[in-house]
Structure 1
Amino acid sequence: MIVHSMDRFARSLKDLVTEVDKLVKRGIAIQFVKENITFTAQSTPMDNLMLQLMGAFAQFEREIILERQKEGIKLASSQGKYKGRVHKLKPDQAEALRQDWKEGKYPSKMALGQAFGISRQAVYRYLKAGK
């Protein structure tokens, strides 16, 4: 199996070690292109150490990126530049959607979503928000 990088394969060191171990036990070799490391059933203790170290650095890098992203969003919000996700339906449309569902105007949530131009998942969110 060829994977671009460890941080794309798993989000934490624990997950990385677990998943690599599962694949290796099944006889599947896994190659990480970015790190230039390959793991097979014949992995040495040094290979396992490298997996732990590189995985720890990948997890650290990911956490730093997320922290910076949160700081950027907070700063942009305080300056009025970031307002969050734009809702597809206006409040009155969302209320109409909930009312139509209560009245049974549509046979399914899929049909309701199609009528309002939103996905089925969005229908669930709007119905849940109205409770």
Structure 2
Amino acid sequence: MANIAYKRVSSSDQKTDRQLDGMTFDKVFEEHCSAKTISRPVWDECLNYLREGDSLTIHSLDRVCRSGAGDAVAIVERLSEKGVSIEFIKEGLKFNGVMTAAQKGVLGILASIAQMERELIRERQREGIEVARSKGKTLGRPKKTVNIELIHEMKRQGKSATEIAKELKIGRATYYRYIKE
């Protein structure tokens, strides 16, 4: 009987420190990828590692659920069938064995709210981008300007495209675009 934890953040530059802070576990699975990604190898590894009698602790539903209520219920049912207890700390939900109708309902509602929250964030983000564009703001990475004469001089010196691109801190595609002009 092992006490297992699963932590997930959406990108490699984010940290899992706030998840399950101060709690100790026999084994911790930590993943850096978006929940909407179908391929989550660490989550799959965690599911395969769990054995009957183990307990799995997850910070919140949104760390494992991709598509709301159906996904959450399926995960809990799959783990319950394996004899694994599962706990979602943020929501205060713990499942040991077969779920009751009330537990399924509450889990479904909370998972649907988490999904709605993600969609509202994306909606607000899109609205913000539209407002910024309507005000004439340029979005994205700033364009790098390079002296075309310098590129041609380096080329005359016999430097390769890769060497020139590296030295000027531009991509090779950018180099070739400048050469075409």
TM-score category of the 2 structures, normalised to the smaller one: 0.5 to 0.7
SS in 1 for 2:99: coil
- Name the counterpart of 2:65: 10
Deviates more, 1:4-13 or 1:32-41: 4-13
- Name the counterpart of 2:128: 72
Q: Which has the higher helix share?
A: 1
> After the TM superposition, which residues 103-118 of structure 1 pair with which residues of structure 2 at under 5 Å, given as runs?
115=166
> After the TM superposition, which residues 53-72 of structure 1 pair with which residues of structure 2 at under 5 Å, given as runs?
53-72=109-128
1:115 deviates by: 4.3
1:53 deviates by: 1.2
> After the TM superposition, which residues 1-131 of structure 1 pair with which residues of structure 2 at under 5 Å, given as runs?
1-13=56-68, 14-81=70-137, 83-86=138-141, 115=166
Q: In structure 2, what is the Cα distance between the partners aligned to 1:25 and 1:37?
A: 17
Q: Which has the higher strand share?
A: 2
1:4 deviates by: 1.5
Unaligned 5+ segments in structure 1 are 97-104
Q: In structure 2, what is the Cα distance between the partners aligned to 1:63 and 1:75?
A: 18
Q: What does the per-residue CA deviation read over 1:28-68, in whole Å, with 9 as the maximum and x for residues that have no partner?
A: 22211111011222322211111111111111122112111
> What is the TM-score with the length of structure 1 in the denominator?
0.60
Unaligned 5+ segments in structure 2 are 1-55, 152-159
> What is the TM-score with the length of structure 2 in the denominator?
0.46
1:71 deviates by: 0.4
SS in 2 for 1:38: strand
Contact 2:77 2:98 in 1 (8 A): no
Return the structure number with greater relative CO, CA threshold 8 A, min gap 6: 1
Aligned residues: 108
State the superposition RMSD in angstroms: 3.5
Q: In structure 1, what is the Cα distance between the partners aligned to 2:83 and 2:57?
A: 14
